[in-house]
Amino acid sequence: MRYSVFSLLAQALQGHKGWTPAWRDPAPKPEYDVIIIGGGGHGLATAHYLASRHDITNVAVLEKGYLGSGNVGRNTTIIRSNYLLPGNTPFYELSMKLWEGLEEDLNYNAMVSQRGVINLYHSDAQRDAFARRGNAMRLAGVDAELLGREQIRAMLPYLDHDNARFPIHGGLLQRRGGSARHDAVAWGYARAADSRGVDMIQNCEVTGITVAGGRAVGVETSRGPIRAKKIAMAVAGNSSRVAAMVGLRLPIESHVLQAFVSEGLKPVIDTVVTFGAGHFYISQSDKGGLVFGGDIDGYNSYAQRGNLPVIEDVMESAMALWPGLGRVRMLRHWGGVMDMSMDGSPIIDFTPIDGLYLNSGWCYGGFKATPASGFCFAHLIATGQPHPVATAYRLDRFATGRLIDEKGAGAQPNLH
Amino acid sequence: MSGQSFRLASGGLIDRTRALAFRFDGKSYEGHAGDTLASALLANGVRLVGRSFKYHRPRGILSAGPEEPNALVELRTGARREPNTRATVVELFDGLEAASQNRWPSLAFDLLSLNGLVSPALVAGFYYKTFMWPAAFWEKLYEPLIRRAAGLGRAAGAEDPDHYEKAFAFCDLLVVGGGPAGLAAALAAGRSGTRVILCDEDFRLGGRLLAEKREIDGKPAAEWLAATLAELESIPEVRIMPRTTVFGLYDHGIYGAVERVGDHLPEPAPYQPRQRGWRIHARRAILAAGALERPIVFPGNDTPGVMLAGAARAYVNRYGVLPGREAVLFTAGDDGWATAHAITAAGGKVAAIVDTRKDADPARKALAEQLGARLFAGGVIAHARGGRQLDGVTIRDASGATTALACDLLAVSNGWNPTLHLTSHQNGKPAWDETLQCFVPGTLPAGLTVAGSAAGRFTLAQALDDGARLGREAAVDAGLIPAGAGPVPATDPETTALTPVWRVKGAKGKAFVDYQNDVTDKDVELAAREGFRPVEHLKRYTTLGMATDQGKTSNLGGLAIMAEQTGRTIPQTGTTTFRPPYTPVAIGALAGHHRGKDFRPTRLAPTHDWSREQGAVFIEAGQWLRAQYYPKPGENDWLTTVNREVLAVRAGVGICDVSTLGKIDIQGTDAAEFLERVYINGWKALPVGKARYGLMLREDGFVMDDGTTSRLGERHFLMTTTTANAGKVMQHLEFCHQVLWPDLDIQMVSVSEQWAQVAVAGPKARETLRGVVDSTHDISNEAFPYLAARAITVGGGIPARLFRISFSGELAYELAVPADYGDAMMRALTRAGEPFGITPYGTEALGVMRIEKGHVAGNELNGQTTARDLGLGKMMSTKKDFIGRLMVGRQALIEKDRPSFVGFRPIDSAQRLRAGAHFIGIGKAAVMENDEGYMTSVAYSPHLKHWMGLGLIRNGAGRIGERVRAYDPVRNGDVVVEICSPVFVDPEGTHLHG
Amino acid sequence: MRINCPHCGARDAQEFTYLGAADPQRPDGLAATEAAMTDYVYMRDNPAGPHRELWYHGAGCHSWLIVTRDTRTHAIALVEPAKTRKAGAAA
């Protein structure tokens, strides 16, 4: 059923009895053209673009829990394309363009809100580093503005601009950045893919990948074996575990990233703001909660929860940036398991096993990448060629040295 | 001032001799010491306290505890305003001011309650289905409207004037909850000598004992409570922390807690924090947090005047307030009957008891008669009426007939849910107990046990028994001999029979599952219809359980209705797990004092005071404050000052603190071998008494750090690192030694803070130094040539080290003395240099001179460059293995076209250069494909009288003389520059050896 | 988390810095190959379960420690000084 204000009002008159399930709940078929392992944002987006852009609809998305149970529902909902390196910028800009047309494409309001993303700087050196990034963005056709002290003061009057430790000197603004309603992204993709015939199989855990003659031909699942011509992994957070099923080791560590939401407040902050003297970012959801986060905890973890040192560090940054937050209460905190890659950038590539495709290594950037990740992964699976904006995301770049290390942190995942 | 017309003449734990004045929505009231804001409002007959989130429906007080979904207020005013504060846990103080929130223009008349009229369209998830067209309207129109209507209270908006602290505690046993189970546990453990911390979120210990009329050992429970508290207070190893919420359980027995030190006062006491955030390390913990009562979903169940039965009892027994004069009880079990008792005993009337159980137990019948209440066995409340205040209910009896009754209180009892939150903070899933009809703790985290109601053991006798048993166990665990297990105190009898009812079906009107987020039973049905059936989908789609009460009163109800819709049992449908914190925690409490100037520690160089006296402007360099430049009177901009400093150094002599550089002392027979492995260049041949520039890579081949390292003895080296990487390099060297090559005979220690170090630079540097170096040391050019490095003495025997190294390209030295002598060293050098016009210079001038000399620094050592990129590839030895050797040889890192390090000067020498500009070929389009590199560092050279830049550009070294654009669109810059050698001043290096 | 440092006793994990997997062994010497080094620098087992990993007690004794910790539960089974490990004994 098509969603619109008219269908909503019509349903209101009949007590909303006529709404149908957003997606079917089919039993798995014995064979598919493409199996996508992972019903998170990237897997669902891949299914949607396979079906809508490449007309490949004999597809199943296998999800071990419920749809959207991974990081798509555990992040701070920020979207932006303010990247530095040519390997990244066009990719994230494609993502931004897809975000901008997402509602129309999916007939689902994922509340994409281009409220602006501001990265604050606190020193001359940081200003120049942001100028370098802003200029790289402009060269790639992305919007970027470098703002000075007074401009930031006018836009964000509540911050501690004259912080006695790290005063705010200015900021890099991407006006087209913003946020989106994370769960709705997963649901919108799932519903759109389902409407084209893709099967969403929930509670279906992949326990093995069957390889015959060097080629992946099917999966073992908690709901029985399923054959497939192509198998695509989109299980960020658990990429190493799934890859290990076929004996692959990846340049990835799994780390926990915590996120926080405050109690609901009347609107206090319009844009997304990141602090430059600590790792901290904050925005406000449409429901009124302040959504914020910081660094990963820094140790390998699959536990989906973190510890107090990082929680306190995030709150310290919050207070340093915005001392009016002292009496605002943190309502919930949670953790997501991130694929932290060795250079801080993702991998969308073939694997050494024919018919097995890899989408992983999203680090902090997974949510904002969702549309382009699905788009480019679908392109790779359907055409056998990497999408032009994702050619740098190769698995062999660690061997060749064609790294995409935005921060220059090196082969240490917890520093990216 | 209105009277407390609902206050009982006697009874309760309030102090009627202490009147406390307070204001709510501008109106003055009076309450008593011992009241909460909620009890004081009820005493004054105030029922309407807030408005709901979506429909802006009038809401009152549902509970008497932390689970409150409705009675949220803005507490205090101005910079101390606290939005979304639960009136049920606010301890009343004199002068308290509170205001209702989420209403406009007033609480009684809220225009946004019009949302209720269009509410048929505002079902769960309606916003996902609309507002999509036209696309531009979302940010401009729809979203601002939604944002304004949503949200709850208003944040203060001004800097929080109060202080916060962090505190740490260690104990053998942490008891969470000071009710009967927790007190019994603390007592049993404390008597055995266990180090106990007992926390309770309430300001008064006792838990449910405060709200009930119970007997222990044949006497009123209050006597047992008083005696127990007295004994606990007398045990030195027991620490009692009231007003302290244990909000989270983290790994390895670490509990997060918040102590509300000053929230019960108008302002925190002088020198006291408002709140204290605790990290409690507990060997073992007992969760004795009790239970939370469950409401029933029926139409109008959110009307002010509908209250949980246990809360109604608490208001009568603890606060001496009658929550209604004409009550109806709606109960699914025995427990609710105690409320009927309490209300009757307090002089209220119970008009009817609606017990959902059909069986007409004669004892209940008799009791109802005795209470003067009509009994509707097998009945339900079909509807609660009233807008801003309850005025009656419609009862549907077992036969289906309806009866309308007037009442001003509807007490609802549907059993209790164990407060098991902490047990699920480590991913533990609660288990459904079919007999008890509630979730009980499942797999427990290591070190945590659960006592009493929190474990689903709801009777007082069980609580006392569990507490005593687990308390003794904790003592044993702590290696102590438990005190004798006396008899568990006897209690008066109680029954907990219950047949829960999750919702009343077949009635018309809005029936709320989640009060605060306005989630109705119809919303849950819609979620089921649309396939949002997993419990997480249910929560995320309908927002059930996502409000500030975190679903304490709603999660199970929602789950039960979903189970009913999908023909499954509750445990098949899902579980109710809880993320931390147990209740919301102020951000300030977790940040402690780390804000403003104290956000991060400030490190000061040993010469800081001297620099300040010289009028230095300081700059943050990581945690350090470094002197940036030293303006003189009349110098109005920094560039004038910096130019003066640079010229003074090159013409005479200047001094600059470099104490912040990392210094690592490395000794041992393998010290030279170790350096060979961590640096790219050779060290074994370095003579004693000489320094050498070294470059180290990360194992991935990119440059990590650089600095000079001196050989002070055959087996003794002193390494310097950049300021920024001092800690990182130390850690790296320790890694290389301990993890990679433990067989090497070396020892190392950081001496960064042990030595004050100053650069003395300029043609007059030697003559200046001559004035402080003891005359026994020959520092002539012959005796102390370029790169000499030796221990000397200064000022008459003070140990010092002198290094003839230069960052500025001038004749220069670095002089190091023990840190305590740093200040004296600066003063002595200033005196000695006076005849030569010695000039203090800061990091800016230092930066200008290093750019003039083409030295790389932090902007170039950014983790993305190799030694080859920086023109230092020839330093890499091919005769030895070193960290990073293999990875730097990877295909992409040796391509000729990689951006490499060169200098840049503007064709028009008046034009300013800026770091961060990208290089684009002349005549080429400004697009990513034509991006050739970027400017890393720039400075104005007072010698050349124009700006100069350093940067990385494709095949830079092969393009000297070529012109490119330095394109800087974010600052509207576009300057034509010529690629040149990175050494701008004295390329032959003659100054250095002078 | 708490880490039981063999030299300092049980300390808050905040005193330590994490590096990563402890088992990969650096291919030392001039004979080592680029492929082996790539594997050492970049490839990880990243197990969900017991993990031998390196922590540095930077705010304490400056020891590098090998901690065996379950990445699903964070429970620590063993803490050993890295220095006592004999070359080739691990993995």
- Nearest residue on chain C to B887, alpha-carbon basis: C34
Neighbours of chain C (3+ CB pairs under 8 A): A, B
Check pLDDT > 70 for residue B300: yes
Check pLDDT > 50 for residue C90: no
A241 → closest Cβ in C48, C53, C74: C48
Contacts of B425 in chain A (CB under 8 A): 305
**Same fold across B164-291+418-477 and B295-414:** yes
Kindly report the average pLDDT of chain B as a whole number: 95
User: Does B534 contact A401 at a Cβ distance shorter than 8 Å?
Assistant: no
Contacts of C56 in chain B (CB under 8 A): 731, 734-735
Superfamily of domain B509-577: BFD-like [2Fe-2S]-binding domain (1.10.10.1100)
Contacts of B256 in chain A (CB under 8 A): 308, 311
Instruction: Give the three-class secondary structure for C45.
Output: coil
- Nearest residue on chain A to C68, alpha-carbon basis: A300
Q: Domain B1-160 class?
A: alpha beta
Instruction: Classify residue A68 as exposed, middle or buried by CB count within 10 Å of its CB (0-12, 13-18, 19+).
Output: buried
Q: What pLDDT, on a 0 to 100 scale, did the predictor assign at position B433?
A: 97
B886 → closest Cβ in C17, C34, C64: C34
Shortest Cα distance, chain B CAs vs residue C45, angstroms: 19
Q: What pLDDT, on a 0 to 100 scale, did the predictor assign at position C85?
A: 59
Contacts of C13 in chain A (CB under 8 A): 299, 307, 309
Q: Give φ, ψ of A311 to 5 degrees.
A: -60, -45
Indicate the number of domains in chain C: 1
Q: With beta carbons less than 8 A apart as the criterion, state whether B519 and B544 touch.
A: yes
Q: Give φ, ψ of B344 to 5 degrees.
A: -65, -45
C77 part of contact set with chain B, CB < 8 Å? no
Contacts of C59 in chain A (CB under 8 A): none
DSSP A29: P
Q: What pLDDT, on a 0 to 100 scale, did the predictor assign at position C87?
A: 46
User: Does B252 contact C62 at a Cβ distance shorter than 8 Å?
Assistant: no
* pLDDT band at residue B136 under the 50/70/90 scheme: confident
B881 → closest Cβ in C2, C28, C85: C28
Check pLDDT > 50 for residue A59: yes
Q: Mean of the pLDDT values across residues B496-509?
A: 91
Q: What pLDDT, on a 0 to 100 scale, did the predictor assign at position A392?
A: 98
Q: Mean of the pLDDT values across residues B796-806?
A: 97
Shortest Cα distance, chain C CAs vs residue B735, angstroms: 7
Kindly report the average pLDDT of chain A as a whole number: 96
* pLDDT band at residue B148 under the 50/70/90 scheme: confident
* pLDDT band at residue B982 under the 50/70/90 scheme: very high
Superfamily of domain B671-751+867-888: Aminomethyltransferase beta-barrel domains (3.30.70.1400)
Residues 6+ apart with CB under 8 A from B356: B330, B331, B332, B378, B379, B380, B499, B501
Shortest Cα distance, chain A CAs vs residue C63, angstroms: 17
Contacts of B160 in chain A (CB under 8 A): 319, 323-327
Q: Mean of the pLDDT values across residues B166-190?
A: 98
Which of A69, A42, A79 is closest to A337 using CA atoms? A69
B112 part of contact set with chain A, CB < 8 Å? no
User: Does C75 contact B281 at a Cβ distance shorter than 8 Å?
Assistant: no
Instruction: Give yes or no for a cis peptide into A30 (omega within 30° of 0).
Output: no
Query: Cα–Cα–Cα angle for B799, B804, B807, nearest 5°?
Result: 120
User: Does C1 contact B250 at a Cβ distance shorter than 8 Å?
Assistant: yes
Q: Mean of the pLDDT values across residues B771-775?
A: 97
Q: What is the CATH number of domain B612-661+754-863?
A: 3.30.1360.120
User: Does A166 contact B927 at a Cβ distance shorter than 8 Å?
Assistant: no
C44 part of contact set with chain B, CB < 8 Å? no
* pLDDT band at residue B568 under the 50/70/90 scheme: very high
A9-39: buried (b, 16+ CB within 10 Å) or exposed (e) per residue?
A: eebbeeebeebeebbeeeebeeebebbbbbb
Q: Mean of the pLDDT values across residues B935-964?
A: 97
C37 → closest Cβ in B446, B740, B886: B886
Q: CA C44, CA C28: separation in Å to the nearest integer?
A: 19
Check pLDDT > 90 for residue A46: yes
User: Does C42 contact A303 at a Cβ distance shorter than 8 Å?
Assistant: no
Whole-structure pTM value: 0.96
User: Does B740 contact C26 at a Cβ distance shorter than 8 Å?
Assistant: yes
Q: Mean of the pLDDT values across residues B888-908?
A: 97
Q: Which amino acid is at A52?
A: S
Q: Mean of the pLDDT values across residues B316-321?
A: 98
User: Does A324 contact B155 at a Cβ distance shorter than 8 Å?
Assistant: yes
Q: What pLDDT, on a 0 to 100 scale, did the predictor assign at position B1?
A: 41
Task: Please identify which residue in the block is written with the tokens 């789609």.
Answer: B541
Q: Give φ, ψ of B736 to 5 degrees.
A: -60, -40
Q: Which CATH architecture has domain B295-414?
A: 3-Layer(bba) Sandwich (3.50)
* CATH at residue C84: 3.30.2270.10
Q: Mean of the pLDDT values across residues B637-645?
A: 97
- Nearest residue on chain A to C34, alpha-carbon basis: A399
Q: Give φ, ψ of A64 to 5 degrees.
A: -75, -25
User: Does C44 contact A240 at a Cβ distance shorter than 8 Å?
Assistant: yes
Q: What is the pLDDT of residues B356-382, one digit of tens each?
A: 999 878 999 999 999 999 999 999 999
A13-17, A393-397, B482-486: least confidently modelled range: B482-486
Contacts of A240 in chain C (CB under 8 A): 44-47
Residues recorded for chain C: 91
Domain edges within chain B: 1-160, 164-291+418-477, 295-414, 509-577, 612-661+754-863, 671-751+867-888, 895-994
A 227-256 residues inside an 8 A Cβ radius of C: 238, 240-241, 244, 249-254
Q: What pLDDT, on a 0 to 100 scale, did the predictor assign at position B455?
A: 98
Shortest Cα distance, chain B CAs vs residue C8, angstroms: 17
C86 part of contact set with chain A, CB < 8 Å? no
C 46-85 residues inside an 8 A Cβ radius of A: 46-48, 51, 53, 69, 71-74
B892 part of contact set with chain C, CB < 8 Å? no
B886 part of contact set with chain C, CB < 8 Å? yes
Give the tokens for residue A62: 């296998």
Q: What is the pLDDT of residues A242-289, one digit of tens each?
A: 999 999 999 999 999 999 999 999 999 999 999 999 889 999 999 999
* pLDDT band at residue A321 under the 50/70/90 scheme: very high
B740 part of contact set with chain C, CB < 8 Å? yes
- Nearest residue on chain A to B586, alpha-carbon basis: A329
Instruction: Classify residue B961 as exposed, middle or buried by CB count within 10 Å of its CB (0-12, 13-18, 19+).
Output: exposed
C11 part of contact set with chain A, CB < 8 Å? no
B594 part of contact set with chain C, CB < 8 Å? no
Q: In this structure, which topology does domain B164-291+418-477 adopt according to CATH?
A: FAD/NAD(P)-binding domain (3.50.50)
Report the percent of chain B where pLDDT is more than 90.
91
Shortest Cα distance, chain C CAs vs residue B810, angstroms: 38
User: Does A319 contact B928 at a Cβ distance shorter than 8 Å?
Assistant: no
Which of A280, A272, A335 is closest to A307 using CA atoms? A335
Look up the domain containing C69 and give its range: 2-90
Superfamily of domain B895-994: Aminomethyltransferase beta-barrel domains (2.40.30.110)
B446 part of contact set with chain C, CB < 8 Å? yes
Q: Mean of the pLDDT values across residues B536-558?
A: 95
Q: Mean of the pLDDT values across residues A93-114?
A: 96
B579 part of contact set with chain C, CB < 8 Å? no
C19 part of contact set with chain B, CB < 8 Å? yes
Task: Please identify which residue in the block is written with the tokens 């205001």.
Answer: B99
- Nearest residue on chain B to A73, alpha-carbon basis: B540
Q: Mean of the pLDDT values across residues B835-840?
A: 98
Instruction: Give the three-class secondary structure for B137.
Output: helix
B699 part of contact set with chain A, CB < 8 Å? yes
Contacts of C28 in chain B (CB under 8 A): 740-741, 881
User: Does A132 contact B425 at a Cβ distance shorter than 8 Å?
Assistant: no
B 66-85 residues inside an 8 A Cβ radius of A: 79-84
Residues 6+ apart with CB under 8 A from B754: B663, B818, B819
C16 part of contact set with chain B, CB < 8 Å? no
Neighbours of chain B (3+ CB pairs under 8 A): A, C
- Nearest residue on chain B to C1, alpha-carbon basis: B251
Residues 6+ apart with CB under 8 A from B370: none
Query: Cα–Cα–Cα angle for B545, B551, B555, nearest 5°?
Result: 85
Check pLDDT > 80 for residue C65: yes
User: Does C56 contact B727 at a Cβ distance shorter than 8 Å?
Assistant: no
User: Does C54 contact B731 at a Cβ distance shorter than 8 Å?
Assistant: no
Check pLDDT > 50 for residue A416: yes
